[in-house]
Structure 1
């Protein structure tokens, strides 16, 4: 038996939502109409935006920096209230190398269950509302992310969200966070496990319609805001021998990242595009080979059916009983049409790398022209 996927192992440890019992004879006063939408937990309130606490932002950035790549991922905790998904905490998950490692998957599931149990014991938020994933150069499309998000949208109340964090943008001093969830059309095709050409046309699916972005807001509590103000404020040196203007220092060192021409990531970005293009070309070659196999088997089946009809027509003219019709699917094993999901994900990856290259090269050219003009002054 094949080992379960990593997303299935993580989903197995998620708390199963329980429906509240309906009282048979309520003896309390009726809820006012103005408050019914807020108090009724079963009402369908569309999700308007995601609110991310500053503590969660710092945790995700720290985990992504320590992991040193796009393998950083973890769970998001919080609650959804009146159309707002409030994410107040998070914790990282151990990195697993392959989905075939059954021992590693069980260890991750046990670790997740232990963390949720510990958070519940200290009266902290222990409701899973999604997960986060680090990415590089704006590309986050992968089979594992789609599989995990599909399970979350099936188990969680509002479907949960995935927060993607771009490490390359953070390295340039611009922390980037986006909230996504799968579209209804893609989720319907995923549940049917049908990504054939006809299914893509019926659902109007392209790489740009796999996910939909949800507005994201970052909220800082007063204590964290005061701490940041303290770090940014200047502190005069002890003594009056030197003017305060000359001795004032800041807890946060000055950043000169804006002076970087931004040409270091262009080479890497081009390498990623070439690699993604090679993968897409290989995938298209595999699909073309499978399509030729399907066409060959269908031609054999059609030729067999035509020959049998011709034989039956000859037997009828000779006054003989026609031969019984046989099930062609049992005689010829026609393979199903291959899935085009991987091709769509690769196209999404190429599009993300291209947009990142456009942004990086555009700002780099402006800085290079400005540096050249400044050097001649």
Structure 2
């Protein structure tokens, strides 16, 4: 008889495990009526506005100022309460220039996971609610932004949002922040990867219906507001101001107008080239379809003639195998370019209107 093994001997020497007590059924307390509208597990309460914390605003401003990218991107963290999406924190995503797209995406993914894990360890907000992107002169339409929003739409509550910061407005002393999210019509066309003319018409899509804007407000700590108010007022012991007066508002900003016009011209050139490519592809599709239609009509005539002679009709053929008809090209890029032109044009309109007022004021003050 074989000797018992060491593991069996140790197991036999242990005391017999006692029967585990049956766990009591959990009890749940009723949600107070005052909190019933705030707890929205199924995300059924529609978003009414987006609220940015002052810390988030300062972080976005710093990232846009220090980044080497023309369109720096970051993550927004927070929670939605009673129709208000409260964004309490954010952090930038790294920018890799000249790297392979696959390696860059993996690096960004590792960095994002590491940051979220660190925030969770210090009990900070780690729930992603959207993204932010910095732009110039109001032109924020691009393929990267659309793809980022569309990919994460079903993963984030309320589809996620994107906060757009206009850097050019900040240089003029106006911190510009706007909140957007994808419209259901555009997302339906995006899921089907169909941006043909027929699809655009059926979904009633234009560049202005890609994103819908949400009201946005900025929340600051009362202590910070009091400090800024005290800091910007004159001191009681001195007649000088804590913040020196600035005369930048008197700048006519002619350089900005020139740059804005250059961007508009470049965007129009890109749009014209894109429309030229679409027209060429459309003509090529029309030629191939005409060849296929002529071939089918000719086959029908030959088949009718054989039937009239008492012969068997010609067998049916798959025309798609004989004629490679290209699919209708996507018009998404064309719509995005139109959105860029519209953004530059609106920025130019605002800048020129302000410049005209300053010019009239300068003329009136000089007595000319």
TM-score, with normalisation over the residues of structure 2?
A: 0.89
Q: Does 1:315 align with 2:332?
A: no
Q: Using the alignment, how far apart are the partners of 1:60 and 1:300 within structure 2? A: 56
Q: Using the alignment, how far apart are the partners of 1:129 and 1:342 within structure 2? A: 27
1:275 to 251, 266, 277: 266
Contact 1:262 1:361 in 2 (8 A): no
Report how far residue 227 of structure 1 moved. 3.1
Query: 2:366 corresponds to which residue?
Result: 375
Report how far residue 41 of structure 1 moved. 1.4
Query: 1:287 corresponds to which residue?
Result: 278
363-372 or 190-199, larger mean C-alpha shift: 363-372
Report how far residue 313 of structure 1 moved. 1.1
**RMSD (Å) for aligned C-alpha atoms:** 1.8
Query: 2:79 corresponds to which residue?
Result: 79
Query: 1:48 corresponds to which residue?
Result: 48
Query: 1:12 corresponds to which residue?
Result: none
Q: Using the alignment, how far apart are the partners of 1:258 and 1:205 within structure 2? A: 39
Contact 1:96 1:105 in 2 (8 A): no
Unpaired stretches in structure 1, ≥5 consecutive residues: 1-24, 238-243
Q: Using the alignment, how far apart are the partners of 1:47 and 1:367 within structure 2? A: 39
SS of 2:274's equivalent? helix
Contact 1:236 1:249 in 2 (8 A): no
Query: 1:164 corresponds to which residue?
Result: 164
Report how far residue 37 of structure 1 moved. 3.1
Cα pair distance change 1:356/1:345, threshold 3 Å: same
Deviation sequence 1:51-109 (CA, Å, 0-9, x none): 00011101111111112663221000111111110000101111134685221221111
Query: 1:253 corresponds to which residue?
Result: 244
Query: 1:149 corresponds to which residue?
Result: 149
Contact 1:99 1:105 in 2 (8 A): no
Q: Using the alignment, how far apart are the partners of 2:43 and 2:196 within structure 1? A: 36
Q: Using the alignment, how far apart are the partners of 2:103 and 2:196 within structure 1? A: 34
Q: Using the alignment, how far apart are the partners of 2:37 and 2:236 within structure 1? A: 54
Deviation sequence 1:17-71 (CA, Å, 0-9, x none): xxxxxxxx87445445554333351250000000000111011111111126632
Report how far residue 157 of structure 1 moved. 1.5
Q: Using the alignment, how far apart are the partners of 2:50 and 2:216 within structure 1? A: 5
Write out aligned runs for 1:1-377 (5 A).
27-31=27-31, 35-42=35-42, 44-67=44-67, 70-97=70-97, 100-235=100-235, 244-245=238-239, 248-250=240-242, 252-376=243-367
Q: Using the alignment, how far apart are the partners of 2:40 and 2:52 within structure 1? A: 24
* Structure exhibiting the larger radius of gyration computed from Cα positions: 2
Contact 2:77 2:128 in 1 (8 A): yes
Q: Using the alignment, how far apart are the partners of 2:302 and 2:64 within structure 1? A: 70
Q: Using the alignment, how far apart are the partners of 1:42 and 1:96 within structure 2? A: 37
SS of 1:334's equivalent? coil
Cα pair distance change 1:26/1:40, threshold 3 Å: farther
Contact 1:262 1:363 in 2 (8 A): no
SS of 2:157's equivalent? coil
Contact 1:138 1:353 in 2 (8 A): yes
Deviation sequence 1:168-201 (CA, Å, 0-9, x none): 0000001100000011111111111111111111
Contact 1:76 1:90 in 2 (8 A): yes
Report how far residue 152 of structure 1 moved. 2.3
Cα pair distance change 1:230/1:33, threshold 3 Å: closer
Contact 2:182 2:212 in 1 (8 A): yes
Query: 1:22 corresponds to which residue?
Result: none
Cα pair distance change 1:69/1:105, threshold 3 Å: closer
Query: 1:9 corresponds to which residue?
Result: none
